[in-house]
Amino acid sequence: MSPKAATPGADRSTDSYLPEHGNGGYDVVHYDLDLDYRVVPNRIAGRATVTAVARQALSRFTLDLGRLRIQDVRVDGRPAKHAHRPNKVHITPQRPIAAGDTFRVDIRYGGNPVPIAGRWGDIGWDELTDGALVASQPNGAPSWFPCDDQPGAKATFRVTITTATPYTVLVTGDPVTRRRGAGSTTWVYERREPTSPYLMSVQIGRYELIDLAVGGVVQRAAIPPLLRTTFAHDFGRHGEIMEALQRLFGPYPFHEYVVVVADDDLDDPIEAQGMAVFGRNHLDGRRTHERLAVHELAHQWFGNSLTVADWRHIWLNEGFATYAEWLWSGVCGDLPTDALAAHWYARVAARPTEVVLANPGVDRMFDPLVYKRGALTVHALRKQVGDEAFFTLLRAWVAEHQHATVTTDQFRDHAQRFAREPLDDLFAAWLDSPVLPPLPR
């Protein structure tokens, strides 16, 4: 192949819902990000080293990056031609990359990070009143680093962030080192498990670090000091929740779990890999939002360890996380799971039946029907196969696909292994048709 020849499909995403995000022709295996962040001007100076393996011969390739400015691009140490168009960096290395080769891309970049604007509002790196947060689902990762931004493109990460010493920095990963300098502190985290770019998060604020629970899985929290008492009550059962979900789903899939409470109001909690972020409005001293704590923790199994290969399968994330809320309600002595299923079935039945769960469409992928009907589908499966088979298949699903990607068809095939009767009709009714089936008793 001529060095100037374009490789067909090299810059094409495989995601059917967000084809403008994600790239083709290679697999990223590791990101090494080194960022210097100044809070008051909201300014980043960064260097990203992206290590990838070519799936095909490449004379050019692309990465996703938002409005940050690029200063330099090198491929395997050599300066590379590049063009930065809206949210996409087009890179032409000096020498073509052969299929199967491992190659390294070094990008120096900087500027004022801003979220990615889209149909769900502003997604990604966002300023707080005093600090910053990253909430990237589904397409906000390019707001702060160059990446292959599609859910199935998992890689490992090392993230180094330097900022003013009064601020605490939390990154989705295991803490490695913290070095204090003259007025600034450098924090280093590693994410050793394969991780989708949208599940990488950074939280920067004047936080107090406390234990969320003692014993078992390491559970920590970063909170504004003035919210300590309220937080202690509202998250007081979190250790019990972790134990309950492990009994139901299997061992927690990461080394630790971190809850961050921003000193700002947030519309919804945010899950990242090994982390969940809440707003101060989610604390009220009455555990009103405890179900959301359950939901975000359940995503560590369903969504983060098991990540959808394509956004059309999002019910595998949200249906199971919602059903976890109902399971916890039964465990803790509130409404039984059956009662919650009946309640939400009535609510769903009162709405127009417009969503096909197995493929809701990009405009409806975060529709409440995907969450609630998804949970009802899980409940219907449980009723069909019985509790013993259901929880066995659930734990096997989690164990067999740990840190991998999953699809709806894989789940259909998996569930059938644990059922005595064919499940084709059940799944066709609940997943493939907008018509709401009867709720099994």
| Residue 361 counted as domain residue | yes
276: domain CATH number is 3.30.2010.30
| Residue 404 counted as domain residue | yes
Distance of alpha carbon 267 from alpha carbon 104, whole angstroms: 38
Q: Are 382 and 390 spatial neighbours (Cβ–Cβ below 8 Å)?
A: yes
**For 54-63, 64-73, 345-354, which range has the lowest pLDDT when averaged over its residues?**
345-354
Check whether residue 30 and residue 170 sit in a common domain: yes
Structural domain count of the chain:
3
Check whether residue 249 and residue 395 sit in a common domain: no
User: What's the pLDDT score for residue 407?
Assistant: 98
425: domain CATH number is 1.10.390.10
Residues 6 or more apart whose Cβ sits within 8 Å of residue 338: none
Residue 437, number of CB atoms within 10 A of its CB: 15
Check whether residue 80 and residue 187 sit in a common domain: yes
The answer on pLDDT for 3 being more than 70 is no
Q: Are 441 and 415 spatial neighbours (Cβ–Cβ below 8 Å)?
A: no
| Residue 360 counted as domain residue | yes
Check whether residue 335 and residue 424 sit in a common domain: yes
Check whether residue 33 and residue 121 sit in a common domain: yes
| Residue 86 counted as domain residue | yes
The answer on pLDDT for 387 being more than 90 is yes
Local structure of residue 242 (DSSP, 8 states): H
The answer on pLDDT for 8 being more than 70 is no
62: domain CATH number is 2.60.40.1730
Residue-averaged pLDDT of the chain = 95
Q: Is 154 helix (H, G, I), strand (E, B) or coil?
A: coil
The answer on pLDDT for 400 being more than 80 is yes
User: What's the pLDDT score for residue 14?
Assistant: 78
* Element spanning 408, H or E: helix 408-416
Note the pLDDT tens digit of each residue in 329-355: 999 999 999 999 999 999 999 988 889
Please name which of 114, 113, 93 lies closest in space to residue 50, comparing C-alpha atoms. 93
Note the pLDDT tens digit of each residue in 177-226: 999 999 999 999 999 999 999 999 999 999 999 999 998 999 999 999 99
**Residue 65 belongs to what domain range?**
26-204
């940050």: which residue's tokens?
68
Check whether residue 178 and residue 285 sit in a common domain: no
| Residue 6 counted as domain residue | no
